[in-house]
A and B are shown apart, each in its own frame.
Chain A
Amino acid sequence: MSTAKEAVRQGLPFWRLFTTITNSGDIFRSEVSGSGFVIGPNSDLSSVQIQYFDQQSPNGSNIIEVSTDKPHIGRLDALNAQKYNSGNPGLLYIFLNQLIPQTGVYQPVGFVTGDNLVLEPIYLDFIQYFSPQSEYENKRTDKTFFYPTVNIPALGGQPIRSAWFVLPYYGRRYANVMFNANSGNINYVISASGVNLLTGTSLGGSNFHAQTELLPPQIVNSTTSSRTINSNTEGMWDLLVIRISTDTPAGSPLDSLNLKVITSDESN
């Protein structure tokens, strides 16, 4: 993983932290002071928090949030020789304020054993500028997820088996869900939900997250279809969950099904 220290040694004007996030508790540190902090163009997460040394604060430190809506423009010092009250060096600490679905733990509501689950990796793209810039680009690019062949597990009557696609949607305002079924005989049922991850568990002890249906189940066969999700009407979510099922009898061959999802920060 890249470090701010190495970026300075290499003569770069900024440090880019671009990494997959495996745990909501991941913390990254910078030994270098910065003049501007922004969320990078390829980030799935839409915000982070930065802890910095602040002698005027009662506890000797302070925290500022940096998001796609609000970069931080201004100097934050990494004071390597100082120490926080906790005893840690007075560096800049970058940590997450959004929850991550844990691989091997997270399952969407409705998931049953035997279903296929595609959990897309979550990336953080964070940029720290070392000197003032004339302009700070703080816009994420649109992100496309494309699955040329959707794999639905072998069928066996009831319950209906499904393929699930869990996509990062943090701070996104728009999604276009497109699918193309090359069959006149097989019915696919496609639906989409929004999930806000929570830290608590249900009474039964299992993970419990706020999952709301955004696109009700739609039957697709031999068609290309495109549907949109807009934050103005459907709200904002941490994850977008696409579910594709079929009720085709066991033993019947499945035809190919393409799925393509484009997410964007723009609502129109």
Chain B
Amino acid sequence: MKSLFTPRETITFTLQTDGTGQEKELARPSYWTKAKLFLETAGPVAVSTKQQFTPVLSGQGILLPTNQEIEITLQANSTLFYAAESINRVKVILEPVPWLEEIYLRLVSYIK
């Protein structure tokens, strides 16, 4: 079984969107991760685990609310995309979730 509870780093950064309206990769962790997103500007910024969800205001992605943190749990090796049509500032915290990874791996192992 894979070694569990491996120390992982929490990654924090500020994302400055460029307003092109195109989908771009925000995170692709190789382990289970909680992505905490906090939009500091008015938006609109949309995120999705699907690669195609634009236009931003089409309703296919999730629109980030201003001044309110949202949390998305990402499966290992999945990708979180974002798109924005204006200049924005988003605080991003990528926090590993080792216990979730353990449960998942144990479950997979059990099923096999």
Question: What is A's interface to B at a CB cutoff of 8 Å?
Answer: 4-5, 8-9, 11, 13, 31-35, 75, 77-82, 90, 130-132
Contact B86–A32 (Cβ < 8 Å): yes
Decide: B19 and A31 in contact? CB cutoff 8 A.
yes
Q: How far is the CA of A81 from the CA of B19 in the complex (A)?
A: 7
Query: Which of B16, B21, B66, B87 lies in contact with A35, CB distance below 8 A?
Result: B66
B 29-53 binary contact with A (CB < 8 Å = 1; else 0): 0000000000011111000000000
Distance in Å: Cβ of A77 to nearest Cβ of chain B: 6
Offer 6 A-B interface pairs, CB within 8 angstroms, sorted by A.
A4-B87, A5-B87, A8-B16, A8-B87, A79-B86, A80-B20
**Interface flag for B89 (CB, 8 Å):** yes
Q: Is the CB of A131 within 8 A of B41?
A: yes
Q: Give A37 to B43 CA distance when docked, in angstroms.
A: 15
Give Cα A11 to B88, complex, Å: 10
B69 at the interface (CB under 8 A from A): no
Q: Which residues does B use to contact A, with CB under 8 Å? A: 14, 16, 19-22, 40-44, 56-57, 66-67, 85-89
With A9-B16, A79-B86 in contact, do A33 and B67 touch (Cβ < 8 Å)? no
Q: Closest CB of chain A to B12's CB: distance in Å? A: 14
Residue of A nearest to B19 (CB): A80
CB–CB A33/B41 < 8 A:
yes
Contacts of A33 in B (CB 8 A): 41-44, 86, 88
CB distance from B96 to the nearest CB of A (A): 26
